[in-house]
Structure 1
C-alpha cells in the first residue's frame, strides 16, 4: 500500500513539472504541418500518462511539432492487450510502426525519439 501511495505521488509530481515546463511546438505553416502528419502516418505511441520515459517522448514530439496517435495502455485494457500481443511485452513507451502492410514495435524512449527525428529529416 505504501508503494502505491509513493508511486501515485511521484506520478503527480512528474505530471505537474511536465505541465509547468512543457515545450511549445515550433511555428509552422499549414503545408509544413501537413507534411509532418503525412510522414508520421501509421505511427501509434502506446504510453502511460505519468511514466517519465513516456513524458520524455511526448515532450520530444512537442518540440518537433510532431503528432502521432497515442493510446494510454494503462487506462485502455484493449490497448494493453494489443501491446502485449503485438509487441510481446507490456512495456511503455512503445511505438507501433505500420508501414507498407508490415507492423513493427519499437521500445525505448531514445530509440523512439531517434526514429521520429529520422522520419522528419
Structure 2
C-alpha cells in the first residue's frame, strides 16, 4: 500500500508540474499590495496530497505568495499544526488576524477564501 501511495504521489506531482496554471499579471504596485496581504498566511501541506495541490494551484492562478510549511517531513511544522489547529490534517491555512489566528482546514474553503480576498 505504501508503494502504491508513493507512485500515485509522484504521478500527482508530475501532472501538477506539466499542467501548471499561469498566474495573474498585475502591476508591480498591485502585486506588492497582494504580497503584503498574503504575508499573514501560511499553508501547512504535504507535497503529494491532491487537496494540497488543488490549493497550491489556486494560489498560483491568483499569483499569491503564501509560505508553505511541510507538515509531513518537518516535525516542527507538524507540531505547530497540531498545537495551533488542534489536529494534523492538511491542507490547513493559518490566517493571522488582528484579533487572533484562524485555522482553515478544507481545501474548498481555502480556495473560496483566497478567491474572495485576492480577486
Q: Once superposed, what is the RMSD of the aligned Cα atoms?
A: 1.0
Match of 1:79 among 77, 80, 92: 77
TM-score of the superposition, structure 2-length normalised?
0.96
Contact preservation (8 Å) 1:23, 1:59: yes
One of 26, 29, 33 as aligned partner of 1:28 = 26
Report the Cα distance in structure 2 between the residues aligned to 1:41 and 1:100, rounded to whole angstroms.
13
Give the match for residue 67 of structure 1. Answer: 65
Structure 1 residue 39 and structure 2 residue 18: aligned?
A: no
Q: Give 1:10's aligned residue.
A: 8
Match 2:106 to one of 105, 108, 115: 108
Structure 2 stretches lacking a partner, 5+ long: none
Query: Aligned partners of 1:67, 1:101: CA distance in 2, in Å?
Result: 23
Structure 1 residue 101: deviation in Å? 4.8
Moved over 4 A (4+): none
In the alignment, the residues of structure 1 paired with residue 58 and residue 22 of structure 2 have an alpha-carbon distance, to the nearest angstrom, of: 10
Residues in 1 aligned to 2:70 and 2:99: alpha-carbon distance in whole angstroms: 24
